[in-house]
Copies of this chain bind each other. A is one copy, B any other.
Amino acid sequence: MNKVITITRQYGSGGREIGRKLAEAYDIPFYDNEIIARAAKETGFAEAAFERAEDKATNSLLYSIAMGMNVFSNQDAGMSALSLDDRIFLAQSNVIRKVAEEGPCVIVGRCADYILKDRSDVINLFIGASVDSRIQRSIEIDMLPENRAAEIVLKKDKSRGNYYKYHSGERWDNVFNYDMALRSDRCGIDGTVECIRAYLDRM
């Protein structure tokens, strides 16, 4: 396996677990929330800084590093209006590019397919599932309250779509973005992992 695998997934589809199992099967690194930790570490900020309320400070060290600037050079005041969200996204994008550069890995979420679109060694996967199965899974695995699970699942769908659209300008549900897209509820998490491996191993 000499590919960088990105996974875009609907909430409750098991896409994260599928990614983790793929990474284990190929013995390659797996990045999900770890990306935030790594981004924080790389940029010299505590992880907590990424979770603070919006910070309007301009020309921050974080932003400079995220933009790949030399922090000792003059900074571009024209970009100072970037929100903390944008700066976090830029910092994460740099981390994603860096781990992809380091070698084969699995990266879940965070528009990784879009961020890495100019690389030729990337395989983009989409994992979905029926709404019913995702509600069920979110109750079982994420312990969502039964009476609110449906509402939360639909809200998460919307916010993931919005996040992708906001940062990439594209629709996350465009089938042409992906090398392979699968509904995980047709043959379960392990069955889905096997199908993806069947595809990757035939390349």
Knowing A187-B203, A202-B191, A203-B187 are in contact, say whether A180-B179 is a contact too (CB < 8 A): no
Report B-chain residues with C-beta under 8 Å of the C-beta of A191: 202-203
- In contact, A183 and B180 (Cβ under 8 angstroms): yes
**Chain B: minimal CB distance from A59 (Å):** 39
Decide yes or no whether A173 CB sits under 8 A from chain B: yes
Interface centre among A174, A175, A180 (most CB of B within 10 A): A175
A181 interface contact, C-beta 8 A? yes
A186 touches B179 (CB 8 A): yes
Which residues A179-203 have CB closer than 8 A to chain B?
A: 179-183, 186-188, 191, 194-195, 198-199, 202-203
Interface assignment of A72: CB less than 8 Å from any CB of chain B = no
CB-based contact B173/A176 at 8 Å = yes
Q: C-beta contact mask, A121-132 vs B, less than 8 Å → 1, else 0?
A: 001001010000
| Measured CA separation A173–B183 after assembly (Å) | 16
* In the complex, chain B residues whose CB is within 8 Å of the CB of A199: 182, 186-187, 195
A114 within 8 A of B: no
**A178 at the A/B interface (Cβ < 8 Å)?**
yes
**A177: chain B residues within 8 A (beta carbon):** 175
| Chain B residues whose CB sits within 8 angstroms of the CB of A202 once the complex forms | 186-188, 191, 194-195
